[in-house]
A and B are shown apart, each in its own frame.
Chain A
Amino acid sequence: MTNNPFPLPKDELLAAYRTMRTIRDFEERLHVEFAKGDIPGFVHLYAGEEACAAGIMSHLTDVDRIASTHRGHGHCIAKGVDVHAMMAEIYGKATGACRGKGGSMHIADLSKGMMGANGILGAGAPLICGAALAAKFRGDGGVGITFFGDGASNQGTVLESMNLAAIWNLPVIFVVENNGYAESTSVDYATAVDSYVDRASGFGLPGVTVDGTDFFAVYEAAGEIIKRAREGGGPALLECKMIRFFGHFEGDAQAYKAKGENDYNRTNRDCLKIFAGRVTSAGVVSAAEIALIDREVAALIDEAVGQAKGAPLPSARDLLTDVYVAY
């Protein structure tokens, strides 16, 4: 039997790969379907960033809560939100995760601890402080993770929340998904510090920067700070440096990127390729096992798209429901 040099047992490695592959295929397929004109509204794809969601969410259960972003599909899938319900939601169908009333930017499943993708940048940080405060009052050991990009890192809500989490010693992890671009604006232009660790230290928080294309780097760094937060050690910041394969939203011509940037990243910095390469070359997982997951996920996404396209639309009466619990 081959020695497993990784920090996860084989079944968890396979599960992590399945999560990342599911996110990738979900997003690649949306890219294709969106171009056909069947999907309404704005769609922001997470392809290229999968290792961050999967590496962090491997440490979480339903008692833990996350607040996501406009680029939230990856967080949803990694947190266990049903892929069929997500796809139907993005198509605006009555069977969607939010019955067609939220769309891509607002997918949520509170039963899974997923407090919503969010169309307002930086809005999740205060909310997750509240989730962590609730966990603290309940004493259920839950932690809260708020994801935000390098763009939203400059929102006052995020900075206020870092201070609040610090003074209340809340079990909150601030995850900066630094993909280098706030929409089209470079992080070098918009953020004054070179490292988000410096920003964290300004709030008295420990911080760590990892290569977000390396699942294992994310997994290990996240594991340490999540454990610390769970045990009452307080909040921390994790910066994942990552790659956004697509534009800010679908339809973005990405003229602000360097020539050849996307091709280079697809070839050399694809977190799935990097992960598969490592686990297969170590002999822990076989190429056949990877290929089997690829086939199963492809079938799942096909099925999800097929179901979503065939699903019923909301009815006129749905317009007026669920504004209040009671009014």
Chain B
Amino acid sequence: MARKISMKQAINEALDLEMRRDPTVIVLGEDIVGGAGAPGEIDAWGGVLGVTKGLHAKHGNRLMDTPLSESAYIGAAIGAAACGMRPVAELMFLDFMGVCFDQILNQAAKFKYMFGGKAKTPVVIRAMVGAGFRAAAQHSQMLTPLFTHVPGLKVVCPSDAYDAKGLLIQAIRDDDPVIFCEHKALYGSECDVPEESYAIPFAEANVVREGKDVTIVSYGLTVHRALEAAETLAKTGVQAEIIDLRTLSPIDWDTVIESVETTGRLVVVDEANPRCSIAGDVAAHVAQNAFGALKAAPQMVTAPHTPVPFSPVLEDLYIPSADAIVAAANKTTARALAA
């Protein structure tokens, strides 16, 4: 039965269900239980924002707090995965990949290929992504393109609680390494989520709004900005179709292409920086594969080519806004509507 829960609760529930189902699932990370070795309460934190709170009481030492040694424990999760476990490691902020990237880039991503197909590394690395928390340049980045660039990795970024639960369950069951990106500004967002277990297959984009005039492709937080933009556009008679990619690697090209073939117009919204971004990738793919269907040049709405600023007034300018999406959509439709 479905009830309204937050994305944070949905992630917690997915972990709980998978740990109950499969004894090889273990969860490790910094403060994921909280208070290890300290004189106060056990499960003091349940993760820095409380996502794993309460799981220790249910699953005991299958949740392990780690020292602040990202290379060691992310590597240990990868090593354990290569030895038959299904570890879920929490990297806290994806920005911290800088201190442990070798284990992801050169180890987990490469084993299967480099060892001639004889390895499997079913590890999930969960991490917070995205801006909006006034957390500045080292705790706010949308680094998804760095991971989609790497063959051997899968990259997931849900936009709501329903998808977060189903995609995380799929990620844990998946036999390849998965980077699971959780937008911190969505943790509190609620929607209807079934109590039971369900998995959402990868590479199945979600058409969250149907429309005939312009295709808006996005993922994560900016899906909601696109929905706001669609409301505004609708008032001017422009019907936007909004596609939530859900998984960035693998990616559901078919749904994107089919939509563009109907609308003839494309706007890609990406909270990542613009160069070599998901936005650039989608725009290029559509230009190459659906050029004949395009009635206007594809538009990209992204963060600027800057680090994430601290001051709220600047950070608000940094994140792609609904207004910017409306403007980009209007740019693609201007000629047609003016005609």
Contacts and interface: CB of A to CB of B under 8 A. Distances in A.
A205 to B, nearest CB: 14
B21 interface: no
B82 A127 contact: yes
5 contacts: A98-B116, A127-B78, A128-B79, A129-B79, A130-B75
Interface stretch (A36-44, A114-122, A222-230, A302-310): A114-122
Nearest to A142: B83
A111 B117 CA distance: 13
Contacts of A131: 79-80, 82-83
A115 B115 CA distance: 9
A96 interface: yes
B115 A102 contact: yes
A233 B106 CA distance: 32
A74 interface: no
B85 A137 contact: yes
B175 interface: yes
B71 A160 contact: yes
Interface string A112-152: 00011011100101111111011101100000100000000
Nearest to A129: B76
A26 B111 CA distance: 25
A101 interface: yes
Interface stretch (A263-271, A276-284, A318-326): A318-326
Chain A at the B interface: SS class: mixed
A160 B80 contact: no
Interface residues of B, number: 45
Interface in A87-112: 96-102, 106, 108-111
A167 B118 CA distance: 32
A75 interface: no
B331 to A, nearest CB: 34
Contact of A110 (B62, B69, B118): B118
B280 interface: no
Given A101-B113, A108-B119, A120-B106, A126 B74 contact: yes
A192 to B, nearest CB: 20
A134 B83 contact: yes
A164 B76 contact: yes
Contact of B75 (A106, A129, A324): A129
Nearest to A120: B106
Contacts of B106: 119-120, 123
Interface in A226-264: none
Given A102-B115, A127-B75, 4 more contacts: A110-B118, A130-B87, A164-B67, A325-B175
A327 to B, nearest CB: 5
Contacts, number: 153
A134 B85 contact: yes
A65 interface: yes
A116 B111 contact: yes
A323 B113 contact: yes
A124 to B, nearest CB: 9
A108 B110 CA distance: 12
Interface string A152-196: 000011001101100110000000000000000000000000000
Contacts of B26: 133, 137
A157 B175 contact: no
Interface in B64-104: 64, 66-67, 69, 71-85, 87, 102-103
A97 B79 contact: no
Contacts of A326: 174-176
A167 B67 contact: yes
Interface of B: 24, 26, 62, 64, 66-67, 69, 71-85, 87, 102-103, 106-107, 110-120, 151-152, 154, 174-176, 250
Contacts of B102: 120, 123, 157
B176 A325 contact: yes
B116 A99 contact: yes
Contacts of A127: 75-76, 78-79, 82, 103, 107
B78 to A, nearest CB: 6
Nearest to B72: A160
B66 A164 contact: yes
Contacts of B151: 323
Contacts of A101: 113-116
A101 B103 CA distance: 19
B300 to A, nearest CB: 26
Contacts of A99: 116-117
A308 to B, nearest CB: 15
A128 B80 CA distance: 8
B115 A163 contact: no
A218 B113 CA distance: 34
A258 B97 CA distance: 42
A244 B311 CA distance: 57
Given A65-B83, A115-B82, A133-B76, A324 B116 contact: no
B71 A98 contact: no
Contacts of B81: 130
A110 B176 CA distance: 16
Nearest to A144: B79
Contact of B114 (A102, A126, A129, A327): A102
A123 B111 CA distance: 13
B82 A322 contact: no
Q: Which of B66, B80, B116, B152: most chain A CB closer than 10 A?
A: B116
A115 B79 contact: yes
Contacts of A161: 69, 72, 75-76
Contacts of B176: 324-327
